[in-house]
Amino acid sequence: MLHPDVLVIGSGIAGLSYAVKVAQLNPELKITILSKSEPQECNTNYAQGGVAVVTDFTKDSFEKHIKDTLIAGDGLCNEESVRIVVEEGPQRLSELVKWGADFDKNEAGNFDLGMEGGHSENRVVHYKDVTGAEMERTLLAAIKKHPNIELLTHHFVIDIITEHHLPDVPYDKNNISCYGVYALDIKNNTIITIQADITLMATGGAGHVYRNSTNPLVATGDGIGLAYRAKAKISGMQFIQFHPTAFYSNRPGQLFLISEAVRGFGAKLRTKSGEPFMHKYDKREELASRDIVARAIDSEMKISGDDHVMLDCRELDQEKFMEHFPNIYNKCKSEGYDLFKELIPVVPASHYLCGGIDVDQMGQTSIKNLLAVGECTNTGLHGANRLASNSLLEALVYGHRAAERTIELIKKGDFNRQNQDNVPHWNQDGMKMAEEMVLVSLLRKELQTIMSELVSIVRSNQWLELAKKREQEIYDSVQELYNMSILSPQLSELRNLVNIAHLIITQSIEQKENRGAFYNKDLDKEKK
Ligand code: FAD
Ligand code: SIN
């Protein structure tokens, strides 16, 4: 049994920046960070475009950034959250720079600011087209400077511990506390108990509930699944952001992203036969917000029957392009496309989860002593659709706030030591080791197919009802497997993905208005 004061689940920007802040505020606290894979294997590491933050106050302003965020969120943002993130953003970014992050500068020595869809000004601070990797590198180096932070990789959290696990403790669903987690030590194949006064959920997104995703394979919505099973409040799951331009490939797994900043730089979308089409959908054309561009592409693909559209970079300034987007150029080249000479195939792919675990302005969830930060949360910042490059900033701002709340909670010391002492070990007696993963991988593929065909960019009442029925069947099969098997990461991920699919489907059925990233074609008909 491990017993840190603070347990962090996730080693992306949310978990790492929070851990550094807690360590700075109180170097006496023992902090343990868990990641289920290699430390850098997370959405953060793949972020390309950058961080949207107001730095050039001669042209830009907080009010403009707030307005752009509210417009993208289509009337469903929490305005207080928007103001907090936008106004506290510059301070959080400058701390990251102090910790060693390098961002591109112009000749005058100011940040070189990129443009992305939905922004009224150039405000995206970036490091070439690999901003996330630079931030992750900085944060992994920063935690090493704190001897009180320990990072355990390849530790897969399978459940958070609440009263539900405690023998002889009455269970009151309105008064639940978190006592730590059970985690599978993947390399040693043992399940360990980790008790902590405060647990932070920072487990990122859920892109792989769909077949095509820009997310790395670790993005299976585990934290939301864990929190949902522990009865935490979860909302906004119907608002899935599809990125318009992932590099088209029929290989399964993660699709390579062609950053929105490439369209910000002037690239144009075309049908497979070479016709421009964005002018038919929005006067901002390629720089309309993501939901609009993704839906336009989806509609063109349905009209033509093609499985992708094309992105045209042939007219762009080659020297400047190579300065800004070397990674994208090289990746396309390695796939056989010289983007200065030919069109590249692109397709929308699931990219970002706007909803998640409900938190207040300090990262507190509805479960006592469980905080949450980053893509797994719903702070209200994004509403129905996230403005490009707002999520890295959100993680920094709420990571800082949750660290402050952690220190307050630890000072207050309102922890139930008797319950902590009674936490039992995970019991797998009588369970069998699954001999092969064929059933698990079949069920995962079936779930992804249902979500991709029926609960995607365009939904309908009938499709959602059918998806609900099919998801329930998959849930029953997964429960049967779970009840008899020794847990594996694959089965745990599947369990979480089924929970995620359930939340997306049921919250989509409850959503009675088309807003932002959510579009049900039947609701449009009812309006007419
Ligand atoms: P992540 O960085 O995904 O970290 C999740 C962590 O949780 C990982 O360490 C993982 O191992 C751990 N974890 C998960 N489940 C478990 C478990 N069961 N047990 C133990 N550990 C677990 N946003 C922007 O603002 N600007 C951009 O330019 C941008 N570009 C993007 C490009 C791509 C290709 C992608 C995929 C996303 C992009 N985003 C961008 C979104 C942004 O990167 C993410 O929202 C953000 O990085 C999420 O950070 P996080 O710390 O919440 O989660
Ligand atoms: C991109 O670079 O297009 C991704 C930006 C984001 O998701 O915020």
Encoding tokens for residue 100? 């060693």
The model's pLDDT over 272-331, given as tens digits with 9 standing for 90+, comes to 999 999 999 999 999 998 899 999 999 999 999 999 999 999 999 999 999 999 999 999
pTM over 0.85: yes
Instruction: Take atom 43 of ligand 1 and give the residue whose Cα is closest.
Output: 44
Residue type, 369: N
Using CA atoms, how far apart are residues 58 and 70, in angstroms rounded to an integer?
Answer: 22
Q: Which atom of ligand 2 is found nearest the CA of 241? A: 7
Residue 150 · residue 33 · CB < 8 Å: yes
Residue with tokens 């070439």: 128
Residue with tokens 């359930």: 502
Classify 221 in phi/psi space as left (phi over 0), alpha (psi -120 to 50) or beta.
left
Q: Which atom of ligand 1 is found nearest the CA of 489? A: 18
User: pLDDT under 70 in the chain at which residues?
Assistant: 434-436, 527-528
* Cβ 48 under 6 angstroms from ligand 2: yes
Using CA atoms, how far apart are residues 456 and 451, in angstroms rounded to an integer?
Answer: 6
Encoding tokens for residue 230? 């522990």
Per-residue H/E/C for 305-335:
CCCCEEEECCCCCHHHHHHHCHHHHHHHHHC
Residue 127 · residue 261 · CB < 8 Å: no
Marked catalytic residue, from 92, 290, 295, 401:
290
Q: Determine the residue of 243, 391, 490 to mutate for testing ligand 1's pocket, defined as the one with the most ligand atoms within 8 A of the Cβ atom.
A: 391
Q: Name the DSSP class of 105.
A: B
Q: Which atom of ligand 2 is found nearest the CA of 49? A: 2
Residue 432: per-residue pLDDT: 75
Q: Has 229 been annotated as catalytic?
A: no
Using CA atoms, how far apart are residues 234 and 138, in angstroms rounded to an integer?
Answer: 31
Using CA atoms, how far apart are residues 456 and 193, in angstroms rounded to an integer?
Answer: 38
Q: Determine the residue of 128, 134, 259 to mutate for testing ligand 2's pocket, defined as the one with the most ligand atoms within 8 A of the Cβ atom.
A: 259
Distance 198 CA to ligand 1 centre (A): 21
Residue 528: per-residue pLDDT: 58
Q: Determine the residue of 20, 33, 44 to mutate for testing ligand 1's pocket, defined as the one with the most ligand atoms within 8 A of the Cβ atom.
A: 44
Residue 219 · residue 28 · CB < 8 Å: no
Residue type, 103: F
Residue with tokens 């049908």: 271
Residue 239 · residue 46 · CB < 8 Å: no
Distance 66 CA to ligand 2 centre (A): 18
Using CA atoms, how far apart are residues 297 and 292, in angstroms rounded to an integer?
Answer: 9
* Cβ 259 under 6 angstroms from ligand 2: yes
Encoding tokens for residue 108? 């005058």
User: What is the CB neighbour count within 10 angstroms for residue 189?
Assistant: 11
Instruction: Take atom 1 of ligand 2 and give the residue whose Cα is closest.
Output: 259
